[in-house]
Structure 1
Amino acid sequence: MTDRTIAACIDGSAYAAAACDAAVWAAARLGAPCTFVHVISRRKHSAAQDYSGQIGLGSREHLRDELAELDGHRARLARERGTDLLDGAAERAEAAGLAQPARIQRNGELLDALQHVEDDIRLLVIGKRGESAGDDDHLGSNLERVIRGVSCPVLITTQAFTPPKRVLIAYDGSPTGENLIQRAAATPLLSGIEAHLVFVGHADDKRRAGLDKAADTLTRAGATTHTAVLSGEVEPALHAYQHEQGCDLMVMGAYGHTRIRHMLVGSTTTDMIRRAEVPVLITR
């Protein structure tokens, strides 16, 4: 990859089509190339394992050979399936007007593969749940690791994606929040989209002044801007506002950049993503 790209993670889940559509939208807004990434997990498709130490197989070489051959066959099928998924995503993108999307297939773990090319990624797009996720209410473990492990912005899609018209920006008045506002004002990704700047908590004079300044920054950048101060718990308050105002994209800052972010999962960010019914854009 030469120019920094919009990278979309593609798998066999119900979220892959939305990730593809979101990447096409982002690539058009940012004037950036697009790359589809498929990663074959070693844990799911491990070829040619060493079975020599397993009980009962020591003197039965034909079984060891057959098991190794079976693993090789599974790995080969996984590669072919991944190629088909990438081809399907590229065809969908080209049908939407995106020219010549690139394709990357890697063996290993998703986060490792993304970190290998992270310097070339301008925005990462990924579905909220991958094909290996269970049916419970938890986020996929791959997604949690990716959010904590990459430094680029991450756009997390639901099962369907439509170009957003109203964006909810969660603002907390912190230096990270100020940086979020500067990025939101500067990026063509959000240009022309109605912005709802929302603070949850007790807003003293200093915080209200910061909120007004942030709104002015977005307005000067050309956005139609609304502000709101809400009470209650952050996550349910933001979701209620999103429903009431019909916001179809949520933007918020990521975990703090400390060692703690690598250990803790149950933060407001994770709760927001898990319960969100619209795409969530995580900034740094």
Structure 2
Amino acid sequence: MTEQVMAAIDGSQFSEGVCDGAAWASKALDAPLAFLHVVDNHPQTAEADLTGNIGLGAREHLLEELASLDERRAKIAQEYGRGLLKAATERAVEQGISDPASRQRNGTVVETLVELESDIRLLVIGKRGETAQQASEHLGSNLERVVRSMHRPILMVPGEFAVPQRVMIAFDGSKTTRKGVEMLASSPLFKGIACDVVMVGADTGDQRSQLEWALATLRDAGHDANGDIVAGEVEESLRTWQQEHGIDMIVMGAYGHTRIRHLLVGSTTTGVLRGANVPVLLLR
């Protein structure tokens, strides 16, 4: 099966941005687009407690009522999801996507995405789900679990999506981030887009050599490429560069050999994703 750009949608405020980001990626990569909605029919444990210590007959009646309620709730959730998928596919068609697919599955988002991973070329997902609080500093737990579980590139959309004009890659010279630079250089996803390469740490000869390699790789591929080595705390340094240089998408590798390694294995990852006001492409 051809690998797809897959967009995980729900009823959250992020789903329109997810649709738009996925449509952009689908066209740029010339890859089919599929929308996914997962119905999580988790057991209603609190309602089960309503049986209490009442008589046997009444308890059996209540259990029947609860089972009926769960069945109706599941049907409503499925119908709701089908409506979301219909709206998403219509939005994609309006943006020039021919025949976008849609899938509805029962289960959890993380388990479903892991199961479908072999079909995915790029996963597009929102910053938070519909059940999360709307506070801007909150990061959806599903996103964190998906990032740790998946082995495909993930595009996190924090709100409305706009086609990027200038991207920044957090670079540390590691194998993963070198692959990220090569991907940026060659991918049709970033054709014609200016690229900044940012290293955080000491300005040593080795670091400078790594930076020059990255810039040369991007320039040889026709990109307007700039970058520098900056001192300071990783998360703050990346955010400052993004704000001061008009960066509208951040690209980072999942693992590295220096402090950037902690972006996806420690608190910095949560911090970067939580504070991001532009899409973040995470590479594995």
- Cα deviation code 1:235-281 (max 9, x no counterpart): 11111111111110000011469xxx9xx863322211110110000
Q: How does 1:1-284 map to 2 (within 5 A)?
A: 2-43=1-42, 54-56=52-54, 58-60=56-58, 61-136=60-135, 137-255=137-255, 266-284=266-284
Unaligned runs of 5+ in 1: none
Separation in 2 of the partners of 1:14 and 1:171? 31
The 1:278/1:247 distance shift into structure 2, 3 A limit, reads same
**Post-superposition shift, 1:200?**
1.1
Does the Cα contact within 8 Å between 1:254 and 1:269 map onto a contact in 2?
A: no
Partners of 2:268 and 2:214 in 1: CA distance: 21
- Larger CA deviation: 147-156 vs 58-67: 58-67
Structure with the higher fraction of residues in helix conformation? 2
Q: Which moved more, 1:236-245 or 1:130-139?
A: 130-139
**Aligned equivalents of 1:215 and 1:130: distance in 2?**
37
Confirm or deny: 8 A CA contact 1:168 1:249 kept in the other structure.
Answer: yes
Distance in 2, Cα, partners of 1:283 & 1:255:
9
| Contact 1:18/1:161 (<8 A) preserved | yes
How far did residue 231 of structure 1 move? 1.3
Q: Deviations over 1:57-91 (max 9, x none)?
A: 63312222111111110010000000000000000
Q: Structure 1 residues 142, 256: closer, same or farther in 2, change over 3 A? A: farther
Letter paired with 2:27: A
Q: How many residues align?
A: 276
1:24 to partner: Cα distance: 0.3
Residue identity in the other structure for 2:216: D
**SS across alignment from 1:59:** helix
Distance 1:149 1:256, change over 3 A: farther
C-alpha offsets along residues 179-233 of structure 1, whole Å, 9 cap, x if unaligned? 2112222211111100011111102001100110111011111111001211111
Distance in 2, Cα, partners of 1:226 & 1:4 = 32
Partners of 2:51 and 2:192 lie apart in 1 by 63
Q: How far apart, in 2, do the equivalents of 1:252 and 1:33 lie? A: 24
Contact residue 177 and residue 256 of structure 2 kept, 8 A = no
Q: Does the residue aligned with 1:242 lie in a helix, a strand or coil?
A: helix
Structure 2 unaligned runs (5+)? Answer: none
Contact 2:159 2:277 in 1 (8 A): no
CA distance in 1, matches of 2:55, 2:9: 38
- Any idea what SS the aligned residue of 2:226 has? strand
Equivalent position SS for 1:97 = coil
Cα distance in 2 between the residues matched to 1:22 and 1:106: 22
1:112 deviates by: 0.8
What is the rounded CA distance, in whole Å, between the counterparts of 2:163 and 2:52 in structure 1? 54
Q: Structure 2: how far apart are the matches of 1:123 and 1:277?
A: 20
Stretches (4+) displaced over 4 A: 49-54
Identity of aligned residues (%): 45
TM, length-normalised to structure 1: 0.91
Distance in 2 between residues matched to 1:53 and 1:69, nearest whole Å: 15
Separation of aligned partners in 1, 2:219 and 2:207: 18
Q: Secondary structure of 2:129's partner?
A: coil
Computed over aligned residues only, the root mean square deviation of the Cα atoms, in angstroms, reads: 2.1
